[in-house]
Amino acid sequence: MLDKVKQLIAFYEEVLSMPHRQEIARELRNEDDLFLLLLYSEMIGIPNPVYYYTLELYPYMIEKFHDWHLRMGMEKSPMTGIRCC
């Protein structure tokens, strides 16, 4: 009986927290997108003084980069240097 009640509370909490979790994830993703844009600012014509170092991040962000350009509405990678797809 107690287990059932606990299950019910867990279910209820899950229903409540679902949209909230989504919103947090969205905000975080937006921040990440902005960060990525700052790293690759040459793409929009802003000179990037640290472009050499951003290259070092390449292996860490290759998968994320692919998701990012898809989300930004670009079917293929916009940068010839990064060949994720």
Partner 1 sequence: MNAIAIAVIGIFIFILGYRFYSKFVAEKIFRLDPNYVTPAHRYKDGVDFVPTNKFVLWGHHFTSVAGAAPILGPAIAVYWGWLPAVLWVVLGTVFAAGVHDFGTLVVSVRNKGQSIGTLAHKLVGQRAKILFLFIILILVLMVNAVFAWVIANLFITFPSSVLPVFIQIPLAIWIGHAVYKKNAKMLVPSLIALAVMYFVAVIAARVDFLQIDLVRYMGGEAGAGIFGLGAVSSAFFIWIVILMIYVYIASTLPVWQLLQPRDFINSHQLVVGLAILYLGLIFTNPQITAPITNPNADDVSWFPLLFITIACGAISGFHGLVSSGTSSKQLNKETDARFVGYLGAVGEGILALVSIIAVITLFPTKEDFLATYSSFQAASAGGLGSFVQGASQLATGLGIPAEIAATIVSIIVVSFAATTLDTSVRLMRYIIAELGSEYKVPALTKTHVATTIAVVSSAALVLIPEGPQGFGSGGYLLWPLFGTSNQLLAGISLLLISVWLKRLGRNYMITLIPMLFLLFMTLWAMVQQVLFTWAWWGTQSNSLLFIFGAIIMGFAIWIVITALTALGSNSQPTIDDNDL
DSSP symbols for the chain? -HHHHHHHHHHHHHHHHHHHHHHHHHHHHHHHHHHHHHHTGGGGT---TTHHHHHHTHHHHHHHHHHHHHHTT-SS-S-SS----
Q: Is 85 near partner 1 (CB under 8 A)?
A: no
**Residue 63 is a binding residue for partner 1 (CB under 8 A):** no
User: By CB under 8 A, is residue 55 in contact with partner 1?
Assistant: no
- In the region spanning residues 17 to 36, those forming contacts with partner 1, defined by CB under 8 A, are 17-20, 22-27, 29
Select from 9-17, 41-49, 53-61, 73-81 the region that touches partner 1 (CB under 8 A). 9-17
Site of interaction with partner 1 (CB under 8 A):
9, 11-20, 22-27, 29, 67, 71
